[in-house]
Amino acid sequence: MPQQNRSNEFVADWQQLLQHTPESVRQLVSAIVKRNAAELAQLFYNDMLADEEAKPFLDHELVSQRLNSSMQGWLRELFSVGKQDPIQLYQTQCHVGEVHARIHIPITLVMRGARLLKHAISAHLVNTDLARGDLVKATNFVFETLELALDAMTDSFVVGMEKHSRADEVYRMFALGQNMLAERERQRAALLEWTQQLLLGLLAETKEEELPAIQHSEFGIWLHHKASIVFESAPELVHIRQRVEEVEQSLTRRLFNARNNREDARSLMKELESGIAEIKFLLGGLFDRFIEVESGRDALTRLLNRRFLPSVLTREVTLARRSGVPFSLLLLDLDHFKNINDTFGHAGGDMVLQQAADIVSSSVRAGDFIFRFGGEELLVVLVEVDKERALTVAETMRRRFEAESFRVGEGKTTNVTVSIGIATYNGHPDFEKIIKNADSALYEAKEAGRNRCIQSQL
């Protein structure tokens, strides 16, 4: 059903409910909900926290610091007796459903929590001195109000989940459209580079804790973040992870302990060589399984299309919550880009955007993600990067832009600066929050005079 029709139905049902419920009854319900909002919110989240399905996206700290107060506000607004705009009320429920879809909260948990809220509010009504007839009307008002809200949420949730599922599949197809041969060789080289760094560390008698970890190498980051999306169901991926884990957790430690024993070291070196060769072989099979497919690439910059952003950020939020290692966003805006278009034409502006994409691409790692976010805006997802490192990366980019001469056609060049907003994942399950934080920081950077990096404090 089209969005407008659903909105009209909600408004009609809401107005009919109000007409059949005396104002005195609605005022009493509102007073009870306001007085007991904290208890009701706690009841809802205690039930959800006890469920295994909720563990990937919910914890006690998140509930106490962020979600509990939001739930209280939602209850007060829903049962308010003030003049309410039913369209705005409907849009609020749709927004809640969209958020649930983005962070993959099972709708069944929300419905179960709503049932608890119905019975808890009804129990408070029973303890009032309402006459039997008004008690029935009050209970019906509570049940119908929550049902209307849930209907709107569920519709929006289903649409959101379908949209994200389509985006996931399209992104996967796009990722397969990269130059697989070039990517395969790059990851083989990254794997060999880690091996060399490990051997050099062993020869230099580096402390065990200072030896390079494969999981934090270029290859390890690519394997953990991008390969998991691109090669989601490939059996080789499981075997590669197993071999990497064996090398990381067992072989490296034994090599460290055997540094002063030539015979043991020689044997372990052969074992390391064999392990790396097996990973390389599996890597080749992984890439050979897929053919090159051109799909979904931004035509001008060749960067990720913005529609893939939900797929990537949903996964990064999940990984960050599991590991406790944050990720960061850089939102870049080319300063005074309109002037470039006005002076050199759109062809010159396009050339600048292409060179900007090249600068950003060469400033980050293979495991990071770069999006064409808007007209002259680029967004970078720096995986496993905290706020201090994010600021360092952003400043490096900014200086590179400042020092570069940008070609604009016919032997002409111009100078271009960039403003960058930085935000680091802070535990909120909705990825839209970190995007908004980065956007606010970018706005501050532009307001402060441009050509600077501003870090969100949220």
Mean pLDDT, range 68-80, rounded to an integer: 91
Q: What is the mean pLDDT of the chain?
A: 86
User: What tens digit of pLDDT does each residue of 417-435 get?
Assistant: 999 999 999 988 889 999 9
Q: Are the CB atoms for 308 and 174 separated by under 8 Å?
A: yes
Determine the angle formed by the axes of helices 431-447 and 309-323, rounding to 10 degrees: 110
Question: Distance between CA 164 and CA 310 in Å, rounded?
Answer: 7
Amino acid 292: pLDDT: 37
Confidence of residue 294 (pLDDT cuts 50, 70, 90): very low
Strands (E), 269-354: 304-305, 328-334
User: Strand, helix or coil at 104?
Assistant: coil
User: What tens digit of pLDDT does each residue of 112-160 get?
Assistant: 999 999 999 999 999 998 899 999 999 999 999 999 999 989 888 877 7
Which residues lie closer than 8 Å to 58 by C-beta, 6 or more apart? 45, 48, 49, 67, 105, 429
Confidence of residue 3 (pLDDT cuts 50, 70, 90): low
User: Strand, helix or coil at 317?
Assistant: helix
CA-wise closest residue to 310 among 154, 440, 162: 162
Question: Distance between CA 16 and CA 11 in Å, rounded?
Answer: 9
Amino acid 291: pLDDT: 43
Give the architecture (CATH level 2) of 304-455. 2-Layer Sandwich (3.30)
Amino acid 293: pLDDT: 36
User: What is the CATH code of the structural domain delimited by 3-165?
Assistant: 1.10.490.10
Higher pLDDT, 391 or 190: 391
Question: Where do the structural domains in the chain lie, given as residue ranges?
Answer: 3-165, 180-288, 304-455
Lowest-pLDDT range of 84-98, 221-235, 369-383: 221-235
DSSP symbol at 248: I
- Percent of the chain exceeding pLDDT 90 equals 45
Using the structure block, give the residue that is written with the tokens 């129990």: 123
Q: 242-249 contacts: CB < 8 A, separation 24 or more?
A: 243/275, 243/278, 243/279, 243/282, 244/214, 244/215, 244/220, 244/279, 246/275, 247/214, 247/272, 247/275, 247/276, 247/279, 248/213, 248/214, 248/215
For the cut 80, the answer to whether the pLDDT of residue 234 exceeds it is: no
Q: Are the CB atoms for 422 and 386 separated by under 8 Å?
A: no
Mean pLDDT, range 291-314, rounded to an integer: 72
Instruction: Return phi, psi of residue 377, to 5°.
Output: -110, 135
Higher pLDDT, 252 or 38: 38
C-alpha Rg value of the chain to the nearest Å: 28
Question: Distance between CA 4 and CA 14 in Å, rounded?
Answer: 15
